[in-house]
Structure 1
Amino acid sequence: MSEFETTGPERAGPERRPRVCVVGSGWRFTGGLSHYTCRLAGALADRSEVSALLMRRLLPRALYPGRARVGVKTAALDYDERVDVFDGVDWYWLPSLFGALRRLRRNRPDTVVFQWWTGTVAHTYLVLAAAARARGARVVVEFHEVQDTGEIRIPFVAAYTRRVLGALLRRSDAFLVHSEHDRQLLGDLFDLSGRPVTVVPHGPFDHYAVTHRPSPDGVFRLLFFGLIRPYKGLDVLIDAFHRLAPEEVSSFHLTVVGETWEGCTEPIEKIEASPYRDRITLVNRYVSDEEAKAHFAEADALVLPYRRSSASGPLHIAMSNGLPVVLSAVGGLVEAVGEYAGAVLVEPEDVPGLADGLRKARAAAGTRYPDPHTWQRNVEAILGRSAAAAEGGTR
């Protein structure tokens, strides 16, 4: 029997397709996990009966850093019509939780896959996991972050999340992570009691695939894309950009696209005071999918100077478009680009090294690289038909 094969009273057999429920982020608080949940559900629909339970109001709006855009439609992506979608469960539960429990009862999934990225969903996940297990479903937790970097810094929130997450993991049968780095981190933090942890790469974000638009003046266009948070290292990138000599910088242009979180204003201040301000475009807000596509269409390379990271949605957008990527050798990112020929790895917070990385990317101008990632690996890992075939293997 495969490690992810259903063991409940309604174990999937040849007479019917397996039933899978994906629990993750909805569109009201749109982010990378909203897209991931949608793409995973669609990929699973090719081989199983799929339902999705979405977290709708993740937390009180006043506490959300991007509160101004909550409820604003920014995603061009939508769920596959084969997926039964419940949108969704609110942080405060009433009455939405009862609707989610009714869907679980009606759809009777063999496997429920929880997408983990923030402690705000912990209490809801714990209840849904208990309900799933009571009906004989197998519970799988897929990790994108073991704990959000902003939450770690708040003592009460960090302790609460660790405790409730631990309770969820004790009720889980198996786990998915995106890198060996995260597998080790998860094992160091929690006693998984010999239950399987499968390393499976993040699926491609090829719904952002675009046709590249060459620069009319031959300038090499760098792109920083994503939330502006302390761990993202945008300040390091600005410092590295300043390391370029005046005669060099005329052949570069840097575009920064992102919404400021956690009071991370230092990079913005550096941009406004930059001696190369005319070579930097700043879009300091969360952009729609269509705007994101336009920025990637005009980019010649993506730069991710992270101080730490388990995974990165912008990285997978860039790889789906074959772009050169300059990124820090941290966390799960090294493994994510292990088979991607367009990656230029630099040490985190190494300003001269990052400046050299920008030059190396410039030397590869016009080159496009194949993306090694597919959703098939994720589907195989969840359905358990051939988990060993997933690169990274089972540990």
Structure 2
Amino acid sequence: MKKPLNMLIWQWGRRGAGPKTAVEFSKAVVSIPNVKAFLSLSCQAEILQKDHNVSADFQIQTYTSVLGYLYRVLQAPLMIYKLHQFIKHNKIDVAICTMPGPMDLVMAAALKLRKIPYIVVVHDVHPHPGDGYIFQHFLQKLLIKRSRLTVTFSKYVYKQLIAVNYVPSSQIIQGWHPPFSYWSKNEQLQSVNQEIKLLNFGRLLLYKGFDLLEEALDQISIQQPYTLRIVGQGPKSAVLDRLNKRQNVIVENRWVPEEEIGELMQWADVVILPYREASQSGIAATALAFGKPILITNVGGLSEQFGEDDLAFICEPTVADIAKGLDEILQLNFPLSHRKHDADKEWQDLAEYLIKEITNKLHLS
């Protein structure tokens, strides 16, 4: 940057990848010369409450229910006024939403009053089956159409965004999804040629391929003993019930707090992600950051994201191919000795690339 740039980074989700993405990106931006980052999070964000190293320059009260959301909508004029004052006082030059949410049009209105351009990071153009976020995707569409630029983390989403024609291709920047960084106090918990520890982690929705995984487990030919933990939160389903009844499978249907994710990743020998569809995967990227091999299906942008990594076993989303991949995994000699990904460095590389693209396209440098 030739001149100072004040960047507002916002994400108002309470839990999960949304606020985590904003925090990781903000940490990376801070290290770039002549760029000052201002972070806005929900005051109810889990990462803000549990990680004492995380702070937000502007905290906003969000909601925990539909009635709470409607109440916040009624308060929109006051919220816009407060945001307008913050943007004015800190001389914000540009803003970026790192993952859209239901209240983002409030920020868009405040930025419009100050004639400040904003960018939206689009993770999914279309909702996944069972997402339950149809209204949120409608609001995302409005947010994208009012933005100056959009960012995708895969070529797959880039092509989808062009296809729906929300914005011209000249306003889309194609980036990549760095791994999330999580701390773990346990440095070495891998198996040593005994029982292999398999982990499936994430939201427990049917598009994640649990039916394929269930059938594939019956077709494994290798006799190596293993334990499979399926950990995450989602609606109850017959396939999860059947999996949980298997002798060597444990289904933990619960929310996993930030501080436990690192422990889960360190516990696992392999992360198994038999998706039926996907855009990109922060979970798989995080597993690789821990030096863990992943078994992942060739859907969406996953092959593009992980095809060059020697720890990635990519198979087709079929029972036979997943079973074959599991057989390959179970024949490995654990613990594996592989280079871990540097999550902080990858976020810094992404931040430098995006800021260069943004400043050039918006003529801010």
Equivalents in 2 of 1:165, 1:181: separation in Å?
18
Name the counterpart of 2:322: 354
Normalising by structure 2, what TM-score?
A: 0.83
1:197-212 to structure 2, matched below 5 A, reads: 197-208=172-183, 211-212=187-188
Q: Per-residue deviation at 1:250?
A: 4.8
Give distance in 2, aligned partners of 1:324 and 1:217: 15
Q: Distance in 1 between matches of 2:49 and 2:282?
A: 14
Please say if residues 224 and 303 of structure 1, whose CA atoms lie closer than 8 Å, have aligned partners that are also in contact.
Answer: yes
Deviation at 1:193, TM superposition (A): 3.0
Kindly provide the CA deviation profile for residues 74-109 of structure 1, in whole angstroms up to 9, marking residues without a partner as x: 97545555x524244454242545433332222222
Asked if structure 2 preserves the Cα contact closer than 8 Å seen for 1:327 and 1:346, the reply is yes
SS at match of 2:120: strand
- Partner of residue 205, structure 2: 229
Q: RMSD of the alignment, in Å?
A: 2.9
Q: 1:152 to 1:299 in 2, by over 3 A?
A: closer
Is residue 224–residue 330 contact of structure 2 (8 Å, CA) maintained in 1?
Answer: no
Q: How does 1:16-35 map to 2 (within 5 A)?
A: 17-26=4-13, 29-35=14-20
Match of 1:258 among 232, 238, 243: 232
Q: How far did 1:113 drift? A: 0.4
Letter in 2 for 1:361: I
**55 and 73 in structure 1: CA distance in 2 versus 1, 3 angstrom threshold:** closer
Q: Which residue type is aligned with residue 314 of structure 1?
A: I
Using the TM superposition, give the Cα deviation of residue 363 of structure 1 relative to its aligned residue in structure 2, in angstroms: 3.1
2:168 equivalent to 1:181: no
Superposed, which structure 2 residues align to 1:323-334 within 5 Å?
323-334=292-303
Supply the AA of the counterpart residue of 1:239: E
Unaligned 5+ runs, structure 2 = 64-68, 361-365
Q: Structure 1 residues 22, 303: CA separation in 2 closer, same or farther (over 3 Å shift)?
A: same
Matched AA of 2:341: D
Kindly provide the amino acid, as one letter, of the partner of residue 371 in structure 1: H
Q: Helix, strand or coil for the counterpart of 1:207?
A: coil
Matched residue count: 343
Is the 8 Å Cα contact of residues 191 and 335 (structure 2) preserved in structure 1? no
- Residue pairs, 1:135-174, within 5 angstroms: 135-149=114-128, 157=134, 161-162=137-138, 164-174=139-149
Q: Which residue of 1 aligns with 2:22?
A: 37
1:335 equivalent in structure 2: 304
Distance verdict in 2 for CA 1:201–1:225, change over 3 Å: same
Match of residue 67 from structure 1? none
Moved more, 309-318 or 200-209: 200-209
Counting only pairs closer than 5 Å after superposition, residues 30-179 of structure 1 correspond to structure 2 as 30-47=15-32, 48-55=35-42, 76-77=50-51, 80=54, 84-90=57-63, 91=69, 92-93=72-73, 94=75, 95-118=78-101, 121=102, 124-149=103-128, 157=134, 161-162=137-138, 164-179=139-154
CA distance in 2, matches of 1:347, 1:372: 28
* Structure 2: distance between partners of 1:19 and 1:292: 32
2: distance between equivalents of 1:114 and 1:143? 9
Per-residue CA shift, 1:216-258, capped at 9, x if unaligned? 671111100111011111232122112224xx35522111111
Percentage of pairs with the same residue: 21
- Residues 213-228 of structure 1 mapped to structure 2, 5 A cutoff: 213-215=189-191, 218-228=194-204
Deviation at 1:73, TM superposition (A): 7.3
Q: In structure 1, what is the Cα distance between the partners aligned to 2:53 and 2:84? A: 21
Aligned to 2:187, what secondary structure does the other structure show? coil
User: Please, which runs of 5 or more residues in structure 1 have no aligned partner?
Assistant: 1-11, 58-70, 389-395
Match of 2:182, SS state, is helix
Distance 1:272 1:175 in 2: 41
CA pair 74-234 structure 1, distance change in 2 beyond 3 A: farther
* Cα offsets for 1:156-207 (capped at 9, x unmatched): x45x843x44432332211110111100001111242343311111122123
Distance 1:192 1:205, change over 3 A: same
TM-score when scaled to structure 1?
0.77
Contact 2:129 2:206 in 1 (8 A): no
CA–CA distance in 1 between the matches of 2:116 and 2:197? Answer: 49
Matched, 1:317 2:302: no
- Compared with structure 1, are the counterparts of its residues 52 and 290 closer, same or farther at alpha carbon in structure 2 (3 Å cutoff)? closer
Tell me, yes or no, if the aligned pair for 2:270 and 2:292 is still in contact at 8 Å. Answer: yes
Give the structure 1 partner of residue 66 of structure 2: none
What does residue 217 of structure 2 align with? 241
Cα separation, partners in 2 of 1:235 and 1:208, compared to 1, 3 Å = farther
Q: What are the superposed Cα offsets for residues 10-63 of structure 1, whole Å, 9 maximum, x if unpaired? A: xx853xx3111111134xx31111211111111111122111222467xxxxxx
The offset of 1:273, in angstroms, is 3.8
SS for the counterpart of 1:309 is coil
Residue 345 of structure 1 aligns to a residue whose secondary structure is strand
Counterparts in 2 of 1:141 and 1:315: CA distance versus 1, 3 Å: same
Contact 2:12–2:62 (Cα < 8 Å) also in 1: no
Q: CA deviation at 1:141?
A: 0.9
